[in-house]
Structures are given as structure tokens and as C-alpha cells.
Amino acid sequence: MLLLGPDIALAQIDPEPRRLLQLGYNQPLEGRGPVAAYGFYYLNKPDFPRTNITLRLALAPIYLDTELGFKGALGEHTDLGLGVSGGGFADGYSEIRAGHFYQEESFTGHGGEVHASVYHLFNPAQRVPLHAVVRGGAHFTAYERDARTAPGFVLPDDRSSLNLRAGLRWGGREPLLTPALAMEISGWYESQFRVQHGAYGYAGDRFVEANSHLFWTRALLIYTAPESERSFSASLTAGGSLSADRFNAFRLGAVLPFSSEFPLQLPGYYFQEVTANRFVSASGSYTHPLDAAKQWSLTGFATMAAVHYVSGTRQPGDWHSGVGGALGYRSPNKVWQIIAGYAYGVDALRTDGRGAQSVGVLIQYDLDALQRSKAHIDPAWFMDKLRGLKRLFGN
């Protein structure tokens, strides 16, 4: 559970104090896939060490992601963030093609990054914020063989790169396992310029591009009825790229909500099983409480995706889908939350045909849950903006 570094950077400086412990694990029931797990402590501390500074920290035993945010550093509504991230195993790569995990073509990567971000708020008088973010950084990666990497497989060169991300985000989603309310429409551009690039693998059969460009957009909605606490979520994400390779392509698979800021989940699949340079993905879930105290709940979820594969990773069929169900428990004070689930990858390729199963568990320990529940968004205002949903959930 120490091998994956979390990536839950936000497109603005988070004003809420947070102390969270997040754990996630997926286990396939057929075949053998890469490690699909994370475990980290997340801290967001406004007014530290001064009133205009916010500390954000995600800490795993061998991984660190931190940023200091300076409120109003570049103007009344323009903030500055300075960050450092990286650690052991942070940049490892697992080769998966047609449902098979090729350990002899997989290897370990250790890396680190420094970056600076600018966050600008366009509509300070509005309740739903519209932020622009521009982030630039320098990244370094060093590769080494795993115990099972083939002797004849040539690793890519250790490399440094310059990265740029720019985007617009209207709304947003809190970094919680199951936020009660969320709405987001966002669009993003990201580029990578590699100082070291070129061929690697078996006789140079694969390539690290000198530069690449990614584009993606996401629409997200989460709503929880205030009385019944029935909840639903829906999201649509689409992306494309120019000159994407195995290291920066869109990778879909598994159900790990904090493995990335934009997790591309496919229930029942291995973690990052599908490697795509273009994709469209739609997902949804519905949660129904099972008891009067609303501590136990049952959730059903599904994801569908159409993809275009990166060269060298193609497999039969461009359509992928997965479904599943989960049993959830939340402690009376909302500090503990545990979700255990089963997922079936409908179109996942395995040795005996299509179809794959997995089980998983997600755990959140929220030390600030009680304080946060006293400052929630007014559901009546949210529903007034989405009048059509009243037919489904009532007032």
C-alpha cells in the first residue's frame, strides 16, 4: 500500500481545514495485475504560518506532495502556490496489454518535482467559483529494474522534463471520499517537454516522445437529498492528445478515487489497464441508506468508456465497461467511513475470454468531520438551481 503516491492537487487554494487519512485497495480475482493501493495522510491548514498562507500536504511513508498557497500574492483575487512532490516508486511503470500484466516489461521509477502555480478567481461575488489555474514545474525521474524485468529489456533513460498545465474550473469537488454536494465543469491543457527522449524496450520497439500535449474536460455532479440522504453522482470526462506515449497517456482502470486528481476508473479492471491517447468516459452511482440512522448504505455504480489506444498497446475492441456494488458504513460522528465493494469488468480481456472480477475497500478517517458538518452548503439553494431533480428526490 506504500507504492502509489496520491495526487489530489486542487485548482485553487482550499479554504477549509482538513485532516484526513485515506486508504484504498483493489484486488483482482482473476489474473495478476500491478499493485492497486494507496495510503496517505492529507492535511490542509489555512492561516499557517500566517493568515494569508495555506499549507497543503499529502504524506505517505515514501511519498510527499506539498504546497504553500499565498492568498492574494499577485492581486486581490489572484493567489500563488509553491510546491514540491515526489518520492520512491512515484514514477514506476506497469506494462499491460490485452488484459495481461507483462512484469518483464515493467520497471520502477523514482521521481520528484518542484512547481509554481497561479490561481485566479474570476467571479468573487458568485457562489459557484470560476477559477483559472496555470502551473509550471520541473520534474526528474530515475528508472531501475524490478526483480522480474527481462535482462534484454532496455530501460528508458533517466530524464528531466518541463511541465505546464493550464485550465478553467467552474465549481469543484472536495477531497472527500463521498462529498454530499459537488458540481464541476472544467477544461484543461497539459504539455511535457522532455530533455531526454528516444527509444527503449526490446531493440527500440517503443519510444519516449520529446514533447506531448494533452487536452481533457470533465463535467461532474454529486447530490445528496438532505432528509433521506439518498445520493447520486454522474460524470462525463473526455480527452485527447498529440504525441502521447506510454508515460503520459490516459490510463483507465480500477476504482481508486485518490490515485489521481482526475481518476479514470473502470470497475473490475486492473489498475491503469487501458492506455489511451483519446477517450470518452461516463460514470454514475446511486447510494441508498439501509437503516434509520443512515450509518449503513448500499451503492451501485457503473462506468462506460470508448478509447483509442496508444501505439503498441492496442487490443481487440475500443469499448470498455464495468459495474459493481458496495456496502458502506459511516460512524455516528461521521469520522470513520468504510466502503467495501465488488466490481465486474464486463469487457476486460482475460485468458478465458472477456469479463473480470475484483473486490476492493476504501477507508476514510476524517478528524474534522464534526466541524465541517456545521458549515455545509444549503441543499435548498442547490436544489433551486436544479429544479428538475425535485421529481426524483422530492423537497
pLDDT tens digit at each of 395 positions of the chain: 344 555 555 668 999 999 999 999 999 999 999 999 999 999 999 999 889 999 999 999 999 999 999 999 999 999 999 999 999 999 999 999 999 999 999 999 999 999 999 999 999 999 999 999 999 999 999 999 999 999 999 999 999 999 999 999 999 999 999 999 999 999 999 999 999 999 999 999 999 999 999 999 999 999 999 999 999 999 999 999 999 999 999 999 999 999 999 999 999 999 999 999 999 999 999 999 999 999 999 999 999 999 999 999 999 999 999 999 999 999 998 999 999 999 999 999 999 999 999 999 999 999 998 776 655 555 555 556 556 555 555 54
Q: Which three cell numbers stand for residue 292?
A: 434509520
In whole angstroms, how far apart are CA 68 and each of 45, 49, 83, 199? 10, 10, 6, 38
Strand partners, 276: 250, 309
* Residues in CB range of 235: below 8 A, 6 or more apart: 218, 219, 220, 221, 282, 283, 284
Q: Which residues of 99-138 are buried (b: 16+ CB within 10 A; e: fewer)?
A: bbbebebbbbbbbbbebebbbbbeeeeeeebbbbbebebe
Q: Coil, strand or helix: which one is 162?
A: strand
Please tell me the total number of residues recorded for the chain in this structure.
Answer: 395
* Residues in CB range of 56: below 8 A, 6 or more apart: 9, 10, 13, 14, 43, 44, 45, 66, 67, 68, 69
Q: Coil, strand or helix: which one is 373?
A: helix
Ranges of each domain in the chain: 18-393
> Could you give the CA distance from residue 140 to residue 391 in angstroms, rounded to a whole number?
52
Vertex 320: Cα angle to 314 and 322 (nearest 5): 140
Q: Which three cell numbers stand for residue 18?
A: 482538513
* Predicted local distance difference test score (pLDDT) of residue 369: 86
CATH architecture of 18-393: Beta Barrel (2.40)
Contact 2, 61 (CB under 8 A): yes
